[in-house]
Structure 1
Amino acid sequence: MDYISVYNDNWHNIGGENILNKRYLLYGLGITNKAIKNYFDKEEIEYLIYCDDTTNDTQLAKIILNKIDIIVKSPGIKFDTAFLRVAEALNKKIVSDIELYCQFFKPTDMVLVTGSVGKTTIATLISRMLSIKEEFKDKLVGNIGLPTFTLASKKSSCLVVEASSFMLHYTYKTKPHVMVIPNIIKHHIDYHKTYNSYIKDKLKIIRNMNHYDYVVYNKEDVILDEIISKMSNVNKISYSLNEKNANCYFDNNYIMYNNEKLIDIKEVKKSELHNIEDYMASICVAKIYDIKKNHINEVIEHFDGLKYRFEMVYHTNDLIIINDSKSTTPYASLAGAKSIKNNFNSYYKVLIVGGIMKENYYCLAKQCDFIDEVYTYGTSRNELAEVFSNNLVKVFDTLEEVIEKLPLKKPLLILFSPSCVSYDQYSSYIERGSEFNELIKRHYNL
């Protein structure tokens, strides 16, 4: 058990938030709470650190909790630990880092991107489009890997936040000026317990917004369209690949916004359908901020994609290798699977999946009948093999074994889209993606 006490005598008013007599506990010490710790140390704010999320010692929990007023929960810790149950029984306030940031600094111009799939790409594109405005330069934070409190020293009022459902669960007053929601899929039920709870956490901060604010959403998501179309407290901007009654839509290879041609998709580097949807979401936000067409087009035309997100590692007439390690759910992998179905019909196709299963994978398997072989590995390799039983399946312990046994077909397409979290064999999807690239280089002498 880790239990660290840090006491200081100097207290401050920050951003109008009176923190006099407020005592904080940082629950967990991942990168998010480390950033808060650094800020607290600099400002000499009193806090405790508690890192044990397995103990059932309620008496110890009560002793610790009686020393503090506010808990800042690390995003990776589940909502139903014994410690949090005791905290809730004692009516202790539990907040996320984004909630704490908003209460301290009260940002006036925040773009918040959430959703189940695609939010990292959308947040990145929005940040690049808005960076032409000085106040939005280097202001992309959140689930993308840069904690919100890295901006605390600047007390930034303008920021772009990629927000997971874990971050949004403990929010109360967080109020974005623009909220972007590309989709809402049954996801993270091991945390949220029910789909309705997950939806509630994703959408609840819209109630804090008003008629000066905007919600940007994918009109083709039936659940989102049904919920958001009925809202009257915010401005609604929609986008769609197929529905021409959306504000932003796709027509004859052009992305259109309010019937104006913006960009010919033949001019961009990444033209897969899921990327086009991400472009449209970011365009909607850029239009809110009056970003000029030429800058919007420049950002999209030069967008190479994100590392390990449908990354084209190698491409010849005989061999295509795609690293989609960032796909940690079947829904994320589905976008890549659809793309290769639409664009690479003549290739012999191999899908590599593996890691730790957390979702319903039959939605992906049903869409992969065109895949010639499925290779599974890792902790859930046998369960995944069962899910893909309608395909030709080969089962391995490790990713290295998978690469060693790749078929000698020509032309061959290899899609590494694990669909699972990586923690059985890797520290993150980044380490997993890097390992895949190294294994491929050695195997094919690239």
Structure 2
Amino acid sequence: MQGTKITSTPLAGRRAGVLGSGRSGQAAARVLHAMGAAVRVVDKDAARLASVYDGTKEGGLFELVSGEHEPAQFAGLDLLVVSPGARVRDIEPFLPADLPVISELELASRQVQEPAIAITGTNGKTTTASLTDFMLRRAGKKVFLGGNIGTPLSEYLLTEDRADVIVLEVSSFQLQHCETFRPRVGVLLNFSPDHLDYHASLEEYLEAKLKLFENQTGEDVALIDQTLRGEIEKRGGVAARVEWLTTEIDFSTPHLLGAHNRQNLEAAWKAVREMGVSEEDARAAAYDFEPPPHRLQIVANKRGIIFIDDSKATTVDSLVAALKAMDRPVRLLAGGKYKGGDLEALRPLLAEKVRSVGLFGGAREVFEKAWTGAVPVFWEETMTKAFARHMAEAEEGEAILLSPATASFDQYKSYAERGNEFRRLAEEA
């Protein structure tokens, strides 16, 4: 436990499993070991498991199990910690009936004493978490920023550094298997269909999001998109003090485009206000803040044409927000691994905002069926070719916008890789 924030061994003599050997799984395994447990790491992919632990000191601390899932992998465990993205329903047939299953977020939060701001929503989580972190730091607070944004909360426990405030971006994957997680401020920015390739239904996805507020009390704050008010009240409300989020904040933010970012800004301000940040400090931070990469980020300006990287727009709703933020005619780049959503409903907005759509990669038939006739649409195999066609037609005063409304995994390892390629194309244009 030396060099960590873990001061007791509540799992001494117990056997705990970790499903997945990615960054969250690795951190969870180390935390479980520090808490006294004998740890078994389970991953289907033997090569991945070996690449993480082969020859490392930590590898000798854990029992490493790979191969197709079977009951023996989970036998004898007192607790199972699942990494984000690991679907529990896929392994349920192999689990003992009474085996507790929790997320890495739940595991770590049980040891964290500092007040937490936890931010979720279908879209805007990373921007809002980053803005919240920026405001707190500008006000002189020590902050740990983590969760779904990149650094697992468990890694915070494995250091001696202390924060005044914990800021977490949390996903439905992490929340679904939480039991006691209680943020001082919980933020639900919005909700729309997404991750239906992971969740069994839209209702399950919503229930996972609402777990954010399940353990809050009247001493806590819930900041919730006003469009969800009816849904929240229908379910009996939440115990925390609720403030409904709008887009009516008057802070100046020259680098944040679009009405949806006004709501993200309002959420960040109301969250940090609970941690003692003054309005003066919050306003100054908002003015200087620039969005994280790949989120309506202007990456180049050539011959009067601006190039906007919104590769993080992996849902139809995020594309809608991007188009509504545009104040000039758009040449749109879209397509990839389609995750669902009503594309046909965008036809009026496309007609209003878009000069032409360049599709690339997967889901061609879905997009063409939904959009043909509303606006000129063409398809190319790669983004490079679609970008080139847009450049041949683009005029001064227009924008070339990458806002794919899809996941990237048909052609790219991540939305970041997709966005970086767009940036390269823009810089070389």
TM-score bracket for the superposition, by shorter chain length: 0.7 to 0.9
Aligned to 2:350: 368
Q: Is the 8 A contact 2:33 2:39 kept in 1?
A: no
Q: What is the CA distance between 1:85 and its match in structure 2?
A: 3.2
Aligned to 2:371: 388
Structure 1 CA distance, aligned partners of 2:17 and 2:288?
44
Aligned to 2:25: 33
Q: Is the 8 A contact 1:333 1:364 kept in 2?
A: no
Q: Secondary structure at the match of 1:322?
A: strand
Q: Is the 8 A contact 1:376 1:393 kept in 2?
A: yes
Q: What is the CA distance between 1:45 and its match in structure 2?
A: 4.4
Aligned to 2:222: 215
Structure 1 CA distance, aligned partners of 2:189 and 2:254?
21
For residue 188 of structure 2, the aligned residue among 156, 173, 181 is: 181
TM-score of the two chains, using structure 2 as the length reference: 0.86
Q: What is the CA distance between 1:14 and its match in structure 2?
A: 4.3
Counterpart of 2:410, as a letter, is D
User: Is 1:293–2:279 an aligned residue pair?
Assistant: yes
Aligned to 1:167: 174
Alpha-carbon displacement from aligned partner over 1:359-381 (angstroms, at most 9, x marks no partner): 12424445322222111111212
For the aligned residue pairs, the C-alpha RMSD in angstroms reads: 2.8
Mean Cα deviation higher: 377-386 or 218-227: 218-227
For residue 77 of structure 2, the aligned residue among 61, 68, 71 is: 68
Q: What is the CA distance between 1:69 and its match in structure 2?
A: 1.6
Aligned to 1:5: none
Aligned to 2:395: 410
Aligned to 2:362: 379
Against the structure 1 CA distance between its residues 58 and 433, is the aligned structure 2 distance closer, same or farther, given a 3 Å change threshold?
closer
Q: What is the correspondence of 1:33-432 to structure 2 with a 5 Å cutoff?
A: 33-40=25-32, 45-52=37-44, 61-81=70-90, 83-87=91-95, 89-103=96-110, 105-132=111-138, 137-154=142-159, 158-223=165-230, 226-227=233-234, 230-231=236-237, 233-241=239-247, 249-250=248-249, 255=250, 263=251, 265=252, 268-315=254-301, 318-340=304-326, 343-344=327-328, 347=329, 349-362=330-343, 363-370=345-352, 371-389=354-372, 390-406=374-390, 407-411=392-396, 412-432=398-418
Query: Tell me, which stretches of 5 or more residues in structure 1 are unaligned?
Result: 1-11, 242-248, 256-262
Structure 1 CA distance, aligned partners of 2:307 and 2:221?
39
Structure 2 CA distance, aligned partners of 1:53 and 1:70?
21
Aligned to 1:6: none
Structure 1 CA distance, aligned partners of 2:347 and 2:356?
12
Q: What is the CA distance between 1:42 and its match in structure 2?
A: 6.4
Alpha-carbon displacement from aligned partner over 1:272-322 (angstroms, at most 9, x marks no partner): 212211111111112212211221011100011111100112236731211
Q: What is the CA distance between 1:393 and its match in structure 2?
A: 1.0
Higher relative contact order structure (alpha carbons within 8 Å, sequence separation ≥ 6): 2
Structure 1 CA distance, aligned partners of 2:231 and 2:384?
41
Structure 2 CA distance, aligned partners of 1:383 and 1:109?
45
Q: Secondary structure at the match of 1:436?
A: helix
Q: Is the 8 A contact 2:16 2:32 kept in 1?
A: no
Q: Is the 8 A contact 2:356 2:376 kept in 1?
A: yes
Counterpart of 1:289, as a letter, is M
Mean Cα deviation higher: 326-335 or 33-42: 33-42
Fraction of identical pairs, as percent: 23
Against the structure 1 CA distance between its residues 357 and 140, is the aligned structure 2 distance closer, same or farther, given a 3 Å change threshold?
same
Q: What is the CA distance between 1:125 and its match in structure 2?
A: 1.2
Q: How many residues align?
A: 401
Structure 2 CA distance, aligned partners of 1:300 and 1:220?
24
Alpha-carbon displacement from aligned partner over 1:186-216 (angstroms, at most 9, x marks no partner): 2212222222111111112422111111101
Aligned to 2:56: none
Against the structure 1 CA distance between its residues 367 and 53, is the aligned structure 2 distance closer, same or farther, given a 3 Å change threshold?
farther
Counterpart of 2:166, as a letter, is L
Structure 2 CA distance, aligned partners of 1:59 and 1:439?
41
Structure 2 CA distance, aligned partners of 1:437 and 1:226?
44
Aligned to 2:62: none
Q: Secondary structure at the match of 1:305?
A: coil
TM-score of the two chains, using structure 1 as the length reference: 0.83
Q: What is the CA distance between 1:386 and its match in structure 2?
A: 1.7
Against the structure 1 CA distance between its residues 440 and 13, is the aligned structure 2 distance closer, same or farther, given a 3 Å change threshold?
closer
Against the structure 1 CA distance between its residues 312 and 223, is the aligned structure 2 distance closer, same or farther, given a 3 Å change threshold?
farther
Counterpart of 1:398, as a letter, is T
Structure 2 CA distance, aligned partners of 1:123 and 1:300?
13
